């Protein structure tokens, strides 16, 4: 088990998924591959950093994303515990922990995991269990507002 900080960003872009993934190279101390989901102009971006990395603020992330043609509308930063699973155990663990989360959007699944404290999400070859929300904000009328 290891601790990480997971960022989930919802927004809009006209860029291709490959161009948005280039964002990962610009982020300092990125711990895992960046995940990008795009439907039309809507985009959902998720990445994680080590627990000891500096927490990026909403305004700072927004500025970074705008350089890549992404307009962020919602940003969630959360503390997660990450577990790796073996291939032989994956079916049992994934079935018991995710319980239907695979059909939901990544940010919704992580938010449910954080709020329940019991759930987890399979992301790639790892299982992440939400420990708590560090920061959550939405852009309202062009300004960032903290969401409690």
pLDDT at 96 over 50: no
Q: Return the biggest CA–CA distance within the chain.
A: 49
**Distance (Å, rounded) from C-alpha 85 to C-alpha 14?**
36
Least confident of 44-53, 74-83, 111-120: 111-120
Q: Where are the domains of the chain?
A: 2-76+131-146
- Domain 2-76+131-146 is in which class? alpha beta
- Upper half-sphere CA count for residue 138 (Cβ side, 13 Å): 4
Dihedral pair phi/psi, residue 35, rounded to 5°? -110, 130
Residues paired with 139 in a beta bridge: 144
Contact between 85 and 95 under an 8 Å Cβ cutoff? The reply is: no
pLDDT, the chain, mean: 75
Burial (CB < 10 A; 0-12, 13-18, 19+), residue 78, is buried
What pLDDT does 121 receive? 57
What pLDDT does 69 receive? 86
């Amino acid at each position: 088990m290891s601790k990480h900080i997971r960022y989930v960003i919802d927004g809009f872009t006209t860029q291709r998924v490959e161009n948005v993934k280039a964002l990962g190279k610009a982020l300092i101390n990125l711990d895992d591959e960046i995940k990008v989901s795009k439907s039309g102009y809507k985009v959902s971006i998720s990445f994680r950093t080590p627990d000891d990395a500096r927490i990026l603020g909403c305004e700072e992330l927004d500025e970074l994303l705008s350089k890549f043609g992404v307009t962020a509308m919602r940003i969630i930063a959360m503390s997660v515990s990450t577990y790796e699973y073996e291939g032989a155990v994956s079916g049992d663990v994934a079935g018991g922990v995710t319980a239907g989360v695979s059909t939901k959007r990544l940010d919704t699944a992580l938010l449910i995991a954080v709020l329940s404290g019991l759930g987890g999400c399979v992301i790639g070859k790892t299982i992440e269990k939400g420990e708590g929300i560090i920061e959550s904000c939405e852009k309202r009328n062009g300004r960032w507002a903290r969401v409690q």
